Amino acid sequence: MNSDARRRIVNCMFTIEHEFDATVITLVDEAGPPFHENVTINSFDDVVTVEQLDPRTDRVQKVTLSTSMLRDLSAALNLPEGAYRLEKGR
């Protein structure tokens, strides 16, 4: 990783672990108060789950995304407001 890339992520805290059947990424909120609970992302072969403890209920909330939904989310993070359809080969 070059020094510019390191400077851009210096204020982030996350871990990456490779488990038997998934890659697990944990995002830690260090941005300052109010702090949010850690977010855990589990990447399996066919789905990705996003989990976070809800301190109001003391239960972990889980969202499951298909690989195509994750691809769409990744594309959407860099697009302006609007409705889009991603098509193969275009």
The ranges assigned to domains in the chain are 10-74
Average pLDDT over residues 49-62: 96
Find all residues with CB under 8 Å of 61, minimum gap 6, and list them.
51, 52, 53, 54
Question: Mean pLDDT of all residues in the chain?
Answer: 84
The pTM assigned to this predicted structure is: 0.73
Q: What is the pLDDT of residues 56-86, one digit of tens each?
A: 999 999 999 999 999 888 888 888 888 887 7
C-beta neighbour count of 58 within 10 angstroms: 7
Residue percentage of the chain with pLDDT more than 70: 84
Residue percentage of the chain with pLDDT more than 90: 47
The pLDDT of residue 11 is: 61
